[in-house]
Structures are given as C-alpha cells and as structure tokens.
Structure 1
Amino acid sequence: MSLFKRAVFSEITSHAGIVFSTLLVVWLSVLIVRLLGDAAEGDIGANVVLGLAAFSSITALPVILSASLFVAVLTTITRSYRESEMSVWFASGLSLSQWLWPVMRFALPVAAIVAVLTLSASPWAYGQIAEYRQRFEQRSDLSKVSAGQFIETDEGRRIFFAESPTRPGDELGRVMARIIEPDWLSVVTAESAAIRTEANGDRFLVLGPGHRYDLKPGSPEVRMLDFDRYGVRIESRSDPGALEAKRQKALQQIKARPTLDLIAQADAESLSQLMWRLALPLAVLNLAFIAVPLGAVNPRLGRSGDLLIAGLLALLYMNLINLSRGWIANGTLSFGIGLWLVHAAFLALGLGLMWRRVRMPRSKKRKARPA
C-alpha cells in the first residue's frame, strides 16, 4: 500500500474511532437516564436496566456506525483541504477520485458489520428486549414492591411504598399501601413485610404488625383495623396460558422477527422491515462515497456551512429510507423499487458531485487582437 493510502486509511480509522466512541457514550447516557426513569415509575425492574441498555445499544449500532463513518471521511478530507495537505497530493499527481479506494477499503468492512447487525444481531436483541419486558409484566403487582420505590399498579388503583428493612430477617421495612376499591378507599401501613410461599405454591405478601383504615368516599363511615399479621395473596393478572400467548406475541413483533421469517412471510409489513435491514449496509457505502466530494471545500471559506449541508444531506438520506419503509408497509411502493430508489438517487448525486469536483475547467480561447 502506498504512503497516500496508508495515511488516508489511518486517519479515517482514527476519526471513526473517536466519533463512534462519542456517539455511543451520548446514546448510552440518554438511554440509561430513560431506563432509570422507567424503573422509577415501575414500568421495568431496576435489575434489568443494564441488560436492556446493552440490548438496545446493539439495535442502535448500525445507525451509529453509519454516522461515524460518514463523519470520519468528511472530516478527514475537509482537514486535508484546510491545512493545504490536499495541494501536496494534487502536486504529486493524485486526484480526488483516488481517495475512493482507501475510503471504500474502510467502508466495506463497516458495511459488512452493519449487515450482520441488521440481519441477525438486531432482531435477536429486539427479541431479548421484548422477553425482558414480558417477564416483568408476568410478575404480579405486589411482587414488584421493592425498597425505596413508589409502585403504581392496576391503572393507579393500588400504590405501594416500602422502606429498607431495619431488622435482621425482614425482606422489607415499613410498608404503606393505598388501595381504591369500588366503594372503599383503604390505607394500609405495616412495620415490615415479606413474601411467603406456601406448600401448595400459593404466594402471599405478609404484613405485620400494622393498621388498616377504610374510608367510604362521600360518607362519614370509617373502619379501623389493627393486625399482627395481614396476608395478601399474590395473584397473577391472567392465567399461564394467556401469559404464554402474550409472550409469544411480543416475541413476534416485526423488529424481533428473524430475517428468514420475514422472507417467508413476504407480506407488506415484513417486506418493509426487510427493506430497512438491507438498506442500512447500502447506505453505509453510499454515505462514504458522498462524503468524498462533500469534503472538498475551499480553505478560504468558513467550515460551518459545508458541514451543515453535509449533515442535512445525510439526515435527508436516512429519513427518505424510513419514508420508503412506510410506503412499502402501506402498499404505496413495491419492495423492489423501494429498496433501490433512494440509494440510486443518492448514488447519482454522489457521481454528479464527484464529476463536478474532479473535472478540469476548460481554458478560454483568447481572441487575437488586430495589429
């Protein structure tokens, strides 16, 4: 490999690593904050936050890799122009078109990785996310009570809060529960709580000692009850057969379906998802190609305008792919046309930009002046 190709490949690799790390850290930060918020609201368990973050990151890697490659190629070529390094390469007999080989040499492995992620890894990750959430949904309301959290269940009709245990052997400390029934509003407080499983398999949340206050809204009637032990049977929200059917339905979500199942199904929704999975690897190559002429800038002009245009163009590309997916799902566009239309349009745009950058301006003929 020549000195030129080694230098270009090394710089693109360095820039891509920096951009990829930055985007991944930003993605994980936003994702973990959102997942922690869901855990605080009781939508997911706190013990599955890291697992969901890992699987969600796998699903986001194709887009992150595509953006990282585009920005890396763009910044490498832009830097060469602004620091007059490109003038040295041009003086050595090279042209802008000769940047395509080292750029594509880096883009082809990235496109292969994106293809593996979109066709295999991402559907598996979506399936794991659905299964994690389904397992949490299968738990009964009371079994979700954990120390230091308000848990709202049954569409807000039951709210629980438990403190950390203060005595050895207790699973939970002080517990407060508010229960809304058709005729009564009940408030239950207890010094401790524990989950017990009987010999027949029935599970109970055992409170005690504590108090229960029953109020009838719109009436002065009040009931007060002191108890040493108060057991609440933990019931599942539906029978095991229904839960299994719900789990299978969640796993059959379109994003979690294996690629071979999408090909076998061949309905509009399956074809739209298949188009999206095939479009991302092609978009990687197209974005890398378009970044070469877009990076050719005038060193005397400001840099923000060119980078803004390039970013908007890449954003338009991804949005058009997503729009084509919606058109295929609605039956407005056929699968064959939807798969290639956007890529062909942007490939033509890239070829036009490249031709405009590399063509030599014709010298104007001077008219002979009369003697």
Structure 2
Amino acid sequence: MLFDSSLRADLARSFGATLVVILTIVLTMFLIRTLGQAAVGRVSPQDVVLLLGYTALGHLPTMLALSLFVSVVATLGRMYRDSEMTIWFASGVGLSRFVRPVLRTSWPVLLVIGALALFVWPWVNQRANDLKDRFERRSDLSRVAPGQFQTSSDGKRVFFIDRDSEDGRTGRNVFILSTAPNAESVTSAKTGRIELDGEDRFLVLDRGQRNEENRESGEMTLSRFESYRILVGERVLSRVDELPPRATPSVDLLRKPTPRNLGELTWRLGLLLGAANLLLLAIPLSAANPRRASNWNLLFALLTFVVYYNAINLSQAWVAAGRLDMGAALALFHGGAFLLAVALLWWREQGNRRFFMRRTAAA
C-alpha cells in the first residue's frame, strides 16, 4: 500500500540520518572523556581507541532508541507541517493507523536493542573492566613515562626516570620520593629494574643513595648502596571472580537474584521496553500545527525521552534498594508508560475526528 511504503521509506531515511548525527556527537564526547582519563593516568593511552569502542557499543542501545524516537517525531511532524497528515485524516486514515508501519519499520532495531542490552552490555563492561584493572595493577615503574613525574597506585611514592629500556622493565637515573606517617625519604639510583618474587613485585635499584628524614625528631640519615630492593606493593594480575552487576551476564543475574542483580536486570529489560513505548509515545507527541513554524513538539519529545530514561534509572535504584520487586517496577514504569501512550493516541485521534466532523457539518 502506498501509505505504508511511503511512510516506512521516510522513517528509514530519517532514522539513518539521525543515528549518524547522534553517533558523531556521542563518540566525540566519549573520545574527549577517554582522552582525559588517559591524561590523568586512569587508562592506558594505548587502549583509548579500544575503550572508546567498548563505551560506544555499550551505549548503542540508548542511541538507537533515541534515533528511533526522534525519527518518528521528526517524520510525522514534517507531515503535519506539510499538511500531509490532513490529507490522510481526510481520507479516513486515523492516527492509530500509523502504529503498524512504525512498528514494521522499527522491529529489527528493537531486536538489536534487546540483544545489545541483555548480552553485549555485560560483555562490554567486563572487557572494559579488565583493561582498566590490568592498567591499575601494573608495576609502579611501568607507570612512569620518561621525563615525567608519576604517583604510585597507593599515593605514597613519586617516581621519575630519565629514560627507560626497550622492554620497559628497566629504568635509568631513577628518582623516588617516599612518604610515610613519620618519615620522608628521597632515593636516587643509576638504574632500576622490576623483579618478581612469588606474587609480589620488587623494584631493585643499583648504585644509588637514600636520604631519609624523621619528621618527629628531625634526624636525617644518608646511606649509599650498590643494590637496594623495594616492595612496590603490586601483585601479579589475577582474574576477579566477583564481577559487578553491570558486568555480569543476564543469565547469571537470574541465577543469583540479589537486589542489586535484579536492579541491573530491570534496567536492561527497561531499555527494550522503553524503546518500544517511546515509539508509541512518538506518534501522538509528533502532532504540530501547520500554521506554526516552531519545533516545540520535538523539544517536548526530547524532554519526554530524558524523563523516561531517568525513570528507568530510578526503577533500577528502587529494585536494587529493595523498595520494589522487579515485576512491580516493570509494571509500574513501563506499563504506566504504555497506558499513557495509548491514552494520548486515543485522545489525539478523537480530537481529529471531532475536528473533521465539525468541518463536514459546517460545509
């Protein structure tokens, strides 16, 4: 049918253009944030692109849902402004008739949103946590870039090396400032290297000296050494068995129905249900007056999107805190949004029918 095919084509074009714009904006924001984390030493500079990909993939369900929502509102809003909707209404096509082509166009995207939220989201978070954990657990000496001061992971030492070797395990002209509750020491050495002893990592310094000051007595001690060994307080990487809920697979969340796990599962299911409800909400929210050139309906629709997704986060918090069961939270937030969408759709359709009945009676 001409109605279905033309509307689906317009929706597909609008969805593609909207998704490209939203991806560009969001990826730029995530790139700036990831570069900032790398600049302060929270993530490895070599992992910036990989972390950016994981972050974008994890937030892709929200971007897809927003793109769908905006494309429906923008497409139907344009039809209102161009008086196409008036023609369809005059031809006997009600507003509820637009639900079928919208859903037929959007159901593949809804399946992708569900798969990303339930299966890809925990995998992405697990991989990102592994990268950050590996970076945080590396040796203190490996944190140091040549010619730069760097603080150790526990904040008690400051390192500086003039240059390092090709393997990154040996540094030359090493400087270490160590701070303790009652003492402060400055250690310098010609070379330094990392050695493993069981699960502990040691920094071995060769040919240097150590200046130590007792803060209570003010006594200063100077000592020279040919070899000096320091426990840098790091351990060899080990796999973390206890994953946070956001990095736990959905099946494991069901197997361990703790409040936090159920809250996370509520959030994942809420992404899919929210995307479907927003499609229904977009149809009545797209109504616009063709005599006005403003886009207030689009701004109001975006405000609705923000409020709805904040409600999804609120449902997760309430379930995690034990204030609501998962089923009750899904029924309250998403069932209520579905009823609101149906009520708005009915109200808009009844308003259109009364308008055309008055016009017919007047003629």
Verify the 8 A CA contact 1:143 1:234 in the aligned structure 2: no
| Deviation by residue 1:222-270 (Cα, 9 ceiling, x = unmatched) | 455677x7655464535x6xx647x222xx2111111111112123222
Give the CA deviation at 1:185: 2.5
Q: Which residue of 1 aligns with 2:234?
A: 237
Matched, 1:328 2:319: yes
Q: Which residue of 1 aligns with 2:341?
A: 350
Q: Which residue of 2 aligns with 1:315?
A: 306
The whole-number CA distance in structure 2 between the counterparts of 1:105 and 1:4 is: 13
The verdict on how the C-alpha distance between 1:88 and 1:149 changes in structure 2, with shifts beyond 3 A counting, is farther
1:275 aligned partner, one-letter code? T
1:40 aligned partner, one-letter code? A
Q: Which residue of 1 aligns with 2:125?
A: 126
Matched, 1:27 2:18: no
The whole-number CA distance in structure 2 between the counterparts of 1:136 and 1:27 is: 25
Deviation larger for 348-357 or 91-100? 91-100
What are the within-5 Å matches in structure 2 for residues 46-65 of structure 1? 46-65=45-64
What are the within-5 Å matches in structure 2 for residues 45-194 of structure 1? 45-147=44-146, 149-163=148-162, 175-189=174-188, 193=191
The verdict on how the C-alpha distance between 1:20 and 1:90 changes in structure 2, with shifts beyond 3 A counting, is same
The whole-number CA distance in structure 1 between the counterparts of 2:270 and 2:224 is: 65
For residue 340 of structure 1, give the secondary structure of its aligned residue in structure 2.
Answer: helix
Size of the aligned set, in residue pairs, is: 357
The verdict on how the C-alpha distance between 1:6 and 1:173 changes in structure 2, with shifts beyond 3 A counting, is farther
For residue 179 of structure 1, give the secondary structure of its aligned residue in structure 2.
Answer: strand
Give the CA deviation at 1:291: 0.4
Give the CA deviation at 1:364: 9.9
Deviation larger for 196-205 or 81-90? 196-205
Give the CA deviation at 1:70: 0.6
Q: Which residue of 2 aligns with 1:248?
A: 241
RMSD of aligned Cα (Å): 3.3
For residue 282 of structure 2, give the secondary structure of its aligned residue in structure 1.
Answer: helix
The whole-number CA distance in structure 2 between the counterparts of 1:165 and 1:195 is: 10
Q: Which residue of 2 aligns with 1:3?
A: 2
TM-score when normalising by structure 2: 0.84
Q: Which residue of 2 aligns with 1:259?
A: 250
Give the CA deviation at 1:357: 2.0
For residue 43 of structure 2, give the secondary structure of its aligned residue in structure 1.
Answer: coil
The whole-number CA distance in structure 1 between the counterparts of 2:62 and 2:267 is: 11
For residue 307 of structure 1, give the secondary structure of its aligned residue in structure 2.
Answer: helix
Verify the 8 A CA contact 2:278 2:305 in the aligned structure 1: yes
Give the CA deviation at 1:74: 0.7
Verify the 8 A CA contact 1:142 1:234 in the aligned structure 2: no
Give the CA deviation at 1:11: 2.2
For residue 140 of structure 1, give the secondary structure of its aligned residue in structure 2.
Answer: coil
| Deviation by residue 1:48-73 (Cα, 9 ceiling, x = unmatched) | 22222222222211111111111111
The verdict on how the C-alpha distance between 1:268 and 1:202 changes in structure 2, with shifts beyond 3 A counting, is closer
Q: Which residue of 1 aligns with 2:193?
A: 195
Verify the 8 A CA contact 1:42 1:152 in the aligned structure 2: no
The verdict on how the C-alpha distance between 1:53 and 1:117 changes in structure 2, with shifts beyond 3 A counting, is same
Verify the 8 A CA contact 1:41 1:152 in the aligned structure 2: no
Matched, 1:293 2:287: no
Structure 2: tracts of 5 or more residues without a match: none
Structure 1: tracts of 5 or more residues without a match: 367-371
Give the CA deviation at 1:325: 1.9
TM-score when normalising by structure 1: 0.82
Identical columns (%): 34
1:320 aligned partner, one-letter code? A
The verdict on how the C-alpha distance between 1:352 and 1:163 changes in structure 2, with shifts beyond 3 A counting, is farther
Verify the 8 A CA contact 2:156 2:180 in the aligned structure 1: yes
